[in-house]
Amino acid sequence: MADQDMYDHDHNSLTDEQADALIGDDEIDETFEQNDQDAAMDSGDDDDGGDVDLDGPIEEIQLQNDSVAHFDGHKDSVYCIAQHPVHPEIVATGGGDDMAYIWNATPVDPPEAPLLPQSYESNPRPRERRGQPILGELGEQDETVNAITFTLPSGDFVATATLAGKLNVYRTPTSSPSSTSIPLLASAKEVEEINWLLPCPHKQYPNTIAFGATDGSVWVYSINPSDTASPLTIVQTFFLHQAPCTAGAWTPDGKLLATVAEDSSLYVWDVFGEAAAAGVTDPMGGQAIVSLTAEDERFKVEGGLYSAAISPGGGIVAVGGADGQIRIIGLPRLAASANSTAGGKGAGAKAKAGGAKQSAAGSAASAGQAGQILASFKAQADGVETLDFSQPPLTLLAAGSVDGSIILFDAAHNFAVRRNIKEAHEEEAVIKVEFVKTALGRLNERGWLLTSVGNDGVVRRWDVRGGTSAVGLGLVQEWRGHRGGGEGGGILGFVQGGGGKQIVTAGDDGIGLVFAAP
C-alpha cells in the first residue's frame, strides 16, 4: 500500500512533494495552460502536410467499372494475354502467381446484371457479378508466366513462357468449362529467361512459334503431336544479339523474323531458308539477311531497342527504343518460290537455310532497299514501348511511349507527324497500342480505330482519321475498371480480335476485364 500513497485522490497526478522531487520551478522553460479540450494530434509542420482535420470533409474515392465481365482466377499480376485466332471469345492469360489459364470471355451474366454492390446498406443487396469460367488450367509453370500465345492458323495449341526460361505447350481445350488441369504436351528449357513469344503465320509451317531470351538468343520451335518421341522440335536458333532480346515481329507471310535487343541491334532472320532460295543473303555472310548494330552510328540508340513492328506489306520494319528514338529499315521482298509452296514442311527448313538452289520463281524476289535505314527520328521524350502499323488504305505508324504520349506518323509521307497525343494516358506509360485489324472473313470496317492501354489502368479508343471529339485528338471512348495509379494498377496487355468489338485486358491488379466496344 505504500505505493498507493504516491498518488493523490483522483489518481491522475503526482503529489506536490513528488512533483517537486522530479523537477524544480527554476528548471521550467515554458508553461502551458491546460484546458478541458483534447489536443489535436499533430502530423507535422504545414510544409509536411499540416495538422489532420478530423472535423473536415472526408475525401470520397469514386470507383468506376465499365466492364461487362471479369476474370479473377489469378492471385497476382496478369502479365500476358492471348486470343484464339478462330474463336475470339477464348483467351489465355499468365501471371505472377506462376499460373496460366484458358477462359471464356463471353459474359456469363446478362448486361443488365449489377456490378459489385454499390451499397452495403441497400435492401435487398444487389447480387455480385460472377467471374468468367475457366476452360482449362495450364499447370507445371516454374515461375512467372511472362508470355503466352495460341498457335496459327487454327489455335490448335497454346504455349506459355516463364521468367525461368521454360517453354510449355498444351492442346487447346474444346470441352465445356472445367477447372481441371490440361495435360502438358511438351516442354523445353534451354535459356534462363524468356522475354517474348510469338506464333508464326507461315501457311506452310503451321503451329510454329518463336521466342527471344535474356541471353540474346532467338529460338524457333515447331509443334507436331504426331511425333510422340519429340512433339516439340527446334527449327532454328540464332545467337548474334549480345544483350537481352527484347522484341520480335514476323513478316505477314511468316517468312522472315525481325528481332531487336538492348545492345541496339536489329537482325532479320531467314528462318525457313526462303530468302536464301530466292538469292537474298547477308552480304557479310552471317546468319541474318539484315544486320544492323550500334557500330553504325546512324542506327545506334543509346539505351537499346525495345519494340518492333512490320508493315502490312512486309516491306519495312520499325524499331523503337530509349529516349523516343525510332528507326525505319527496309526489308527484302520475297516472291513465292517453288520450295515454299511445294516443299512444305517436308523440305526441311535447315536444309533450305543451308543453301538450297534458287528457283525460277524465287529469282523474282528482290532485295530492294533491304537493310537500308530509310528514316531515323525522335518525337517523344522517353522510351518507345510499343509500335503498330495500320492496315491499308491507311499508312500510319502508331508509337506509344513511357512518357504517356501516342504519336501517329504517316509512312507514306516520310513519317511526318500526323498527330501528337501528349497525355494519352495521363502521363503514365503507354504499354500497348494496336489498330483494330480485319475480322476473320470480313472487310476491315474499323481499321481507323486505334486502341491503347497504359499504367493509368484505362483503355482508350482513338479515331485516327482526325475526328472532332476530345478537343481534336480523336478520342472516341474510354473504359475504366482497373485500379490504375501507375505501379501495381495498370494494364499490361490486351486483345481485341474479332473486329475489335470486344476488348479483353490483363491487369497488374490481378484481374482480367472484358469491355464491350460498340
Report the candidate in 214, 83, 79, 54 with the shortest Cα–Cα distance to residue 143. Answer: 79
Give the cell for residue 370. 533491304
The pTM of this model reads 0.80
Give the cell for residue 225. 503431336
Give the cell for residue 275. 530468302
Going by pLDDT thresholds of 50, 70 and 90, the confidence category of residue 484 is confident
> CB–CB of 237/218 below 8 Å?
yes
Cell numbers 525510332: residue? 326
Kindly report, residue by residue over 424-481, the tens digit of the pLDDT: 998 899 999 999 987 555 556 778 999 999 999 999 999 998 644 444 579 999 999 9
> CB–CB of 238/288 below 8 Å?
yes
- Percentage of the chain surpassing pLDDT 90? 63
181 has pLDDT over 80: yes
Give me the residue spans of the domains in the chain.
Answer: 72-107+127-423
CATH homologous superfamily for 72-107+127-423?
YVTN repeat-like/Quinoprotein amine dehydrogenase (2.130.10.10)
Question: CB count, 10 Å around CB of 431?
Answer: 22
Question: Which residues, in sequence order, are CB contacts of 3 under 8 Å at separation 6+?
Answer: none
Say whether 345 sits in a helix, a strand or coil. helix
8 has pLDDT over 90: no
Report the candidate in 396, 395, 400 with the shortest Cα–Cα distance to residue 380. Answer: 400
35 has pLDDT over 60: no
Report the candidate in 488, 412, 403, 491 with the shortest Cα–Cα distance to residue 451. Answer: 491
Kindly report, residue by residue over 81-122, the tens digit of the pLDDT: 999 999 999 999 999 999 999 999 999 875 554 444 444 344
> CB–CB of 212/246 below 8 Å?
yes
Report the candidate in 102, 100, 101, 94 with the shortest Cα–Cα distance to residue 78. Answer: 94
Cell numbers 475526328: residue? 467
Kindly report, residue by residue over 357-397, the tens digit of the pLDDT: 333 222 334 556 888 999 999 999 999 999 999 999 999 99
Cell numbers 441497400: residue? 122
Kindly report, residue by residue over 317-338, the tens digit of the pLDDT: 999 999 999 999 999 988 654 3
Cell numbers 538469292: residue? 279
Residue 169: strand pairing partners:
159, 186
Q: Which residue has the higher pLDDT, 214 or 129?
A: 214
Report the candidate in 303, 467, 323 with the shortest Cα–Cα distance to residue 399. Answer: 323
Instruction: State the DSSP H helix or E strand holding residue 352, giving kind and residue range, or none if neither.
Output: helix 349-353
Per-residue burial over 264-302, b if 16 or more Cβ lie within 10 Å, else e, is bbbbbbbbbbbbbbbbbbbeeeebbbbbbbbeeeebbbe
